[in-house]
Structure 1
Amino acid sequence: MSEVAVSVVLPAYNEEATIEHTVRTTLETLGTFLPDGSFEVIVAEDGCDDATPDIADRLAAEDSRVRHFHSDERLGRGGALERAFRESGGETLVYFDTDLATDMSHLEELVESVRTDGYDVATGSRRIPGEKQDREPERGLASTGYNALVKLFLRSDLHDHQCGFKSFDRAVLFDLLEDTEDDHWFWDTEVLVRAQRAGYDIKEFPVRWTPKGDTKVDLVRDVFGMGSQILRVWWEFSIKPRATRRAGLVAGILLTLAALALMTVYLDPDAILDAIRGADYRLVALAAGVYALSWPLRGQRYRDILRELGYDGDLLFMTGAVFISQTGNLVFPARAGDAVRAYVVKARRKIPYPSGFASLAVERVFDLLAITVLAGAVLVGLLATGGADGLAEAIAADIGTVEIGGQSIAPGAAARTALRVAAVVGVLAIAGVAVIVASARRDTDLVHRFVSTISDDSYADYVSTAIGQFVGDVQAVAGDRSAFARIGLSSLLVWGIDVVTAIVVLAAFQVPVTPYLVAVSFFAVSVGNLAKIVPLSPGGIGLYEGAFTLIVVGFTANITPAVAIAVAVLDHAVKNIVTMIGGIASTLVFNVSLVEAVEGAAEVEESVSSEQ
């Protein structure tokens, strides 16, 4: 049995300037209150690329109380600590930061609190009320915010979770590590929170602390890294125990009802009913059927995109995933449904989050490109044949107020805004595709260089890897000419069906469908879809309806503003209703709920880090 009673682990990453001083100071301080041979100091060197490994090897060779554990790859701070603790011999396990920011006069209290006083865990604190420490304002603000979030979401009673000055009873720590998932900066916070949940006796005591070295706030690490981990642990403690199948079903029903209610924010029910009263019900039903034909195409296109990224799936599931995400986008702002789709394909098909979001980005790029091509091609044709004169007159004129469903609508201003928005979005879409295709032929790691300018912390590698995979996946599709052409063609078919749906709705209002009207409809629907990319008017009649009305009225002589806007409202309503029905049906068929989606999100960092 080992005679070592206390094992002190020093996590080290590129510490060549300080590691020798830290080791010698630690040995000297431990020797003032512990018997000879009862302690060891372990350098947990975490994939350093400087002289730290050589210095640690020399120190270990010179003093039998010093041990060095080397790793060729980055394990993360938590990972390096855990590995060293498992190889240690002491019953009291201690670690502190190698910069010695915490005054070493506190080391005896840290060790003896666990070794002789009976505490399970001891931790230094810079934030106990009544104790003040000198800190840069920006780091002090970040620390205050972080600890407040931990206390709020994770119900912690401690004041300082990130002070690098902690000790543990060996058996207690290994019990806590059974469930601890983080292996980087959140590691010690998670251990402390789990210790409180398990009822272990924790001592938090004030320490004198002086910041050392580079103390600037690291936004990448502090915001994105530990913030997501707080949400993961909160989910595990507060939501997951209640997330039964029955609870998920009830939540899904309530969310569906909420989604239906929120539809009234975007489409006035009276306006829809009024529009339907003036239309041929049979043709309205036909329009819904035509639009439904586009969904298998959407599913196949999404399947093709994922296949280019190295993932496969059946057509039915992919179509359902698109239905679910588009339903979310219909009723919630900021395209929240896109995130839901990334969760769904991760949970059901094990597709990593970076690839899931990249596939969505590719889909959006092709959507914008296809709509722009359709609008641009028709506009060029109209200009070449002199058919655009009416549009200029309509833009210059002020389309009067229209009554639909008892609601007064003035589409003129919205329509002119819509045209400007559509033009800008179309130009950006073409420019974006050009940039992606061009960048797909470059092999420079621009992502890592950019992230490194934001953060020089080791967590930058973690984040840049995820972003780099995202960009690489987008470029993988753009760089394959065959895939680019195939997905581009399916995108044109998807949006072509979208236009045909509007044409059938026009016919439902007894409007004669001529080749010229078909061309006008392609232009009107395409510009309307480009306009609504930017939700400048989320309530009532939006930019889509305004653009559609102005273009149809401007290019035709026999369609009044009242009829045009009624067609636009009904066209939009038919598409939204089909989307909602498909989305609700898909959640039932595939037993998908937000409970399952959010639970899958907790795995994102593990999946990304495993690919480094």
Structure 2
Amino acid sequence: MERPIAGRPAATSTAGVEVSVVLPAYNEERTIENTVRVTLETLESFLPADAFEVIIAEDGCDDRTPEIADQMAAEDSRVRHFHSDRRLGRGGALEHAFEAADGETLVYFDTDLATDMRHLEELVECVRSGEYDIATGSRWMPENVAHRPAERGVPSRVYNTLVRFFLRSDLRDHQCGFKAFSREAFDTLRYEVEDNHWFWDTEMLVRGQRYGFRIREFAVDWEPKGDTKVDLVRDVLGMGSQILRTWWQLSVRPRITRRVTIFAGLLLTVFALALMTLYIDPSEVLAVLGQTDPTLVAVAAAVYVLSWPLRGVRYRDILNELGYRENTGFLTGAIFISQTGNLVFPARAGDAVRAYIVKARRGIPYPSGFASLAIERVFDLLTIAGMAGVVLVGLAATGSLSDIATVLANGVSGGEVSVSPEDVRTVAYVAAGVGIVAIAGVFGIALSARADRNLVRSTVGRFSSDSYVEYVVDIIDQFVSDLQAVAGDRTAFSRVGVSSVAIWMLDVVTAVIVLFALGVDIDPVVLVGVSFFAVSVGNLAKVLPLSPGGIGLYEIAFTVFMAALAPISPAMALAAAVLDHAVKNAVTVVGGVLSMLLLNVSLTTAVEESREISDRERELAETDS
């Protein structure tokens, strides 16, 4: 928690203070005293002694910086110390300090004094005079390009080029730690800016341009000091994702209206169905439909529909364990929409849609949203791996494993249908590998929940020594702790597990009904057992993102094992696989489009709702602090 700024209560306003200079400090015990002294001397050279204040925004330091800052604040009433017991991030520390500042002109610069302090007067007067709302130093102006080492210069050039291109910024340097804001500009932009770390000042500049604030960028003399803080974690994971996030918010979402969303949903339906023709011969589908009992096909579709409310119940139970109480109907619709996206895009990219929906419409943070998805996936994989394992044990007991060995060695061939041994082995290896990883993952999460050591923090720390690691690790910690919340609770684990079994039982029953609809006439016990194995292996195999919706891999697995383990011809097995997948995909797509309409998933509406949620979160955070 934050404590009041040393030297005076946080709520007190000092008459006469026009300029507030904030120095963001994190473990600066070796430099902070000299930085404050130089800052005071420079300000005194062009401002009255009582017209300014210097605030040390000390951001959760674990060295002597807090003690030094307290001492300087006690010795000079113009120095104030803003302390935080936890890391706020550079942007968060600046924002909180600016809020508590008394001046109408708000200034900050990096404590290493890399920018020549002779430019401070120009920076202050640009805003203090009222001529500009925002001022920023620049190391990349044509008349004065800073000489920077390649490890700093190249990433900086690339970064600024990306910001200019994606975010349509007219500025050349967005990250020079030498900026000033008018109180009006800061108060307007602070609630729009979402980042609280390194991207904070870039977002302030970009949004400031969109609001029409007058911005002055001027060349400064700049000399790099200290070790570079450029690293993979911060610059790729952090800054790149923030550029894309801001581009989406400013350039894409405002253009997506309800009409566009509905049209996109219908187009998605056509596209998903068209993609099926890339992996399945349409003539085969039509031939299969001509031979089926339409009543039984409708029954199969109805049975599969029953599994979707169960998916909503399971997702509700997962979120309950994470502390979120949501409506089952809403969650079922969100799952429908995301699964429809997964039919179109490989690597389950549609899952991000669900994380977005629950964040924008219900305020569930992205780490928890993705963690809940991961939990759901783990239970899916565990269930179908368990189903395959149980049938495999049964096959071993009846001496049928030799049939599997034969099909792995020789493939399947019959009539016009042929599956090579290589394709069969690929499916088998992927299915086995995914099952093993799923089981190992659950054990790993459960064991880590009991470990005293923070494995996430130590592991990520190996890849970066930058302070941004703390920001990244906090997000990963929340993700992992959410996984552990369900995996480590026996009751929750059992409840979600039972739901998962019921969901996949209905999935298998759907396939069995499809087989009966095709006129398959074999022992129902054998048919059900083989169907359990074929559907399980098929779903494990399609986890590998080789094709949208797993179309292709599922059909291979289903065809191969149905033909090998049951007295069904390869042609009949392929027909069943095609129809089974078609029925399930059709239900998914129709449910996805209807859910888009019923839930009114208009991104324009979502923007406003997520903005209100963000404002409430900020207000609560400020109240707690």
Alignment partner of 1:476 is 2:489:
no
Length-normalised TM-score, structure 2: 0.88
Determine the structure 1 residue equivalent to 2:394. 381
Correspondence for 1:125 among 131, 138, 151: 138
Inter-CA distance 313–31: structure 2 relative to 1 (3 Å threshold): closer
Letter in 2 for 1:477: V
CA RMSD of aligned residues (A): 3.0
Contact 1:400 1:412 in 2 (8 A): no
Contact 2:361 2:606 in 1 (8 A): no
CA distance in 1, matches of 2:199, 2:615: 12
Contact 2:345 2:548 in 1 (8 A): no
Deviation, 1:183, is 3.5
Inter-CA distance 560–472: structure 2 relative to 1 (3 Å threshold): same
Deviation, 1:303, is 1.9
CA distance in 2, matches of 1:169, 1:342: 37
Contact 2:139 2:221 in 1 (8 A): yes
Q: Deviations over 1:567-605 (max 9, x none)?
A: 111111111111112222222222224555677778789
Q: Deviations over 1:259-307 (max 9, x none)?
A: 4444434444333212212222222222222222222222222222222
**How many residues in Structure 1 have an aligned counterpart in Structure 2?**
607
Alignment partner of 1:288 is 2:301:
yes
Deviation, 1:96, is 0.9
Inter-CA distance 458–604: structure 2 relative to 1 (3 Å threshold): farther
Determine the structure 1 residue equivalent to 2:583. 574
Q: Which moved more, 1:147-156 or 1:306-315?
A: 306-315
Determine the structure 2 residue equivalent to 1:532. 542
Inter-CA distance 606–98: structure 2 relative to 1 (3 Å threshold): farther
Contact 2:107 2:179 in 1 (8 A): yes
Determine the structure 2 residue equivalent to 1:506. 515
Contact 1:176 1:191 in 2 (8 A): yes
Determine the structure 1 residue equivalent to 2:175. 162
Determine the structure 2 residue equivalent to 1:517. 527
After TM superposition, the structure 1 = structure 2 runs for residues 293-332 of structure 1, keeping only pairs within 5 Å, are 293-332=306-345
Letter in 2 for 1:63: D
CA distance in 2, matches of 1:264, 1:596: 35
Q: Which moved more, 1:300-309 or 1:105-114?
A: 105-114
CA distance in 2, matches of 1:578, 1:263: 14
Contact 1:415 1:549 in 2 (8 A): no
CA distance in 2, matches of 1:178, 1:342: 23
Q: Deviations over 1:162-200 (max 9, x none)?
A: 101122344444444464444432222222223323333
Deviation, 1:327, is 1.4
Determine the structure 1 residue equivalent to 2:110. 97
Determine the structure 1 residue equivalent to 2:379. 366
Determine the structure 1 residue equivalent to 2:251. 238
Identity of aligned residues (%): 63
Contact 2:346 2:549 in 1 (8 A): no
After TM superposition, the structure 1 = structure 2 runs for residues 12-161 of structure 1, keeping only pairs within 5 Å, are 12-116=25-129, 118-129=131-142, 131-161=144-174
Alignment partner of 1:205 is 2:218:
yes
Letter in 2 for 1:592: V
Letter in 1 for 2:98: F
Q: Deviations over 1:362-417 (max 9, x none)?
A: 111111111111111111111111123333333333433754xxxx7645532232
Determine the structure 1 residue equivalent to 2:565. 555
Letter in 1 for 2:180: S
Contact 2:258 2:604 in 1 (8 A): no
Deviation, 1:441, is 2.5
Deviation, 1:5, is 4.2
Q: Which moved more, 1:214-223 or 1:602-611?
A: 602-611
CA distance in 1, matches of 2:478, 2:84: 25
CA distance in 2, matches of 1:456, 1:478: 31
Contact 2:431 2:538 in 1 (8 A): yes
Correspondence for 2:552 among 538, 542, 547: 542
Contact 2:143 2:219 in 1 (8 A): no
Correspondence for 2:498 among 489, 496, 502: 489
2:218 partner SS: strand
Contact 1:221 1:460 in 2 (8 A): yes
Determine the structure 2 residue equivalent to 1:222. 235
Length-normalised TM-score, structure 1: 0.90
Correspondence for 2:292 among 279, 297, 320: 279
Contact 2:262 2:596 in 1 (8 A): no
Letter in 2 for 1:533: V
Inter-CA distance 546–600: structure 2 relative to 1 (3 Å threshold): farther
Q: Which moved more, 1:437-446 or 1:490-499?
A: 437-446
Q: Which moved more, 1:537-546 or 1:134-143?
A: 537-546
